[in-house]
Amino acid sequence: MILKESVLKSKQFFTRLIFPVKCMVCGASLPRDGVYLCEECLPKLYHEAHKSCPACLRAIEFCDCHVVKHAVHMSYIFFYGSEEIKKLFYTLKNTGDRRYFDFVGELLGRTIASRLGFTKETELPFECVTYVPRFPPRKNEIGYDQSKQLAKAVGKYFGIKVLPLLKHTGKAGEQKRLSQFDRRHAVKTRYVINRRLLNDRGKLSQKAVLLIDDITTTGATLNECAMILESFGVKQVYGAVVAKTVNAKRYDYPDAEDLYR
Ligand SMILES: [Zn+2]
Ligand SMILES: [Zn+2]
């Protein structure tokens, strides 16, 4: 046991030597592993997680700007938009560091638990974790699947398995160039069920699943994936996303200056 611990400690020591611990937001060096935010950025992110939606003015847990019809409950940590959140995602994407994924995954796990009102000790409302798979060339470009890494971390947090229930068809979804309408329709052909995981009756054996994605823009992708899972026998899909973008359509209030002109 003692030997194991010392081996573990030295492993951590060497990992830190090669990949020093840095704040995910500002890049400042940190004294210890585990929390990847410095003293200055931590309260900023806490504030981000407690912001109300600029479009519907509700707290993030009650914001209904992206209705995911086919998910029983949606959990989000942040709204995507502030510099801090953009940097957090930038660090996650560009380093691909497992420790960062574990950290953000744990944050997501905690958010899900608090939104659904259960603790790690109470029975989980879902049996496994799954994720929205990436477009294959994109995955190769950055070398890993971001949602899968997050799902793994969430699975680790809850102590349940991660299953690749969905597959990407490989059809390009140049999301950024599409209008919101096109985006909703394009999504329909991009995902299919992973047939290897179906039982003899051609259904999934899981009844309740936690579906993870890193970011949502319209909610259409999650909706589509949840619909596919449901059509293969899943009764309840719980969705969880690190950040959601503010619904620009609903966010069309005039600037304060214009109001008083
Ligand atoms: Zn910082
Ligand atoms: Zn809202």
Kindly tell me if the per-residue pLDDT of 149 is higher than 60.
yes
Domain residue limits at 226 = 17-248
From CA 35, how far away is CA 14, in angstroms rounded? 18
The ligand whose atoms approach the alpha carbon of 64 most closely is: 2
From CA 53, how far away is CA 81, in angstroms rounded? 11
Distance, CA of 147 to chain centre = 6
Residue 172 lies in a domain: yes
The ligand whose atoms approach the alpha carbon of 76 most closely is: 2
CA–centroid distance, 252 to ligand 2, in Å, is 12
Phi-psi region of 214 (alpha: psi -120 to 50; beta: other; left: phi over 0): alpha
What is the tens place of the pLDDT at every residue in 89-133? 999 988 888 899 999 999 999 999 998 888 767 889 999 999 999
From CA 228, how far away is CA 171, in angstroms rounded? 17
CA–centroid distance, 88 to ligand 1, in Å, is 10
For residue 5, the one-letter residue type is E
Residue 257 lies in a domain: no
CA–centroid distance, 253 to ligand 1, in Å, is 32
Question: Residue written as tokens 């619909």?
Answer: 227
CA–centroid distance, 150 to ligand 1, in Å, is 21
Residue 32 lies in a domain: yes
Residue 7 lies in a domain: no
Q: Note whether 177 and 213 are within 8 A (CB).
A: no
The ligand whose atoms approach the alpha carbon of 39 most closely is: 1
Instruction: Look at residue 260 and give its three-state secondary structure.
Output: coil
Q: pLDDT band for 260, please (50, 70, 90 cuts).
A: low
Q: What is residue 34's predicted lDDT score, i.e. its pLDDT?
A: 78
CA–centroid distance, 21 to ligand 1, in Å, is 11
What is the tens place of the pLDDT at every residue in 49-85? 999 988 888 888 888 787 788 888 999 999 998 999 9
- 129 phi/psi in degrees, rounded to 5: -110, 140
Give the largest Cα separation in the chain, rounded.
Answer: 72
Residue 259 lies in a domain: no
The ligand whose atoms approach the alpha carbon of 42 most closely is: 1
Tokens linked to 121: 């000790």
Kindly tell me if the per-residue pLDDT of 3 is higher than 60.
no
For residue 19, the one-letter residue type is F
Instruction: Look at residue 132 and give its three-state secondary structure.
Output: coil
Q: Note whether 223 and 166 are within 8 A (CB).
A: no
Q: What is residue 23's predicted lDDT score, i.e. its pLDDT?
A: 95
CA–centroid distance, 7 to ligand 2, in Å, is 48
What is the tens place of the pLDDT at every residue in 11-38? 555 555 556 789 999 999 988 777 899 9
Q: How many domains does the chain have?
A: 1
Instruction: Look at residue 133 and give its three-state secondary structure.
Output: coil
CA–centroid distance, 208 to ligand 2, in Å, is 26
Residue 260 lies in a domain: no
Q: Note whether 24 and 92 are within 8 A (CB).
A: yes
Would you give the DSSP letter of residue 236? Answer: E
What is the tens place of the pLDDT at every residue in 196-253? 999 999 999 999 999 999 999 888 899 999 999 999 999 999 999 999 988 766 666 5
Residue 9 lies in a domain: no
CA–centroid distance, 22 to ligand 1, in Å, is 8
The domain that contains 47 carries what CATH number? 3.40.50.2020
Residue 233 lies in a domain: yes
CA–centroid distance, 107 to ligand 1, in Å, is 17
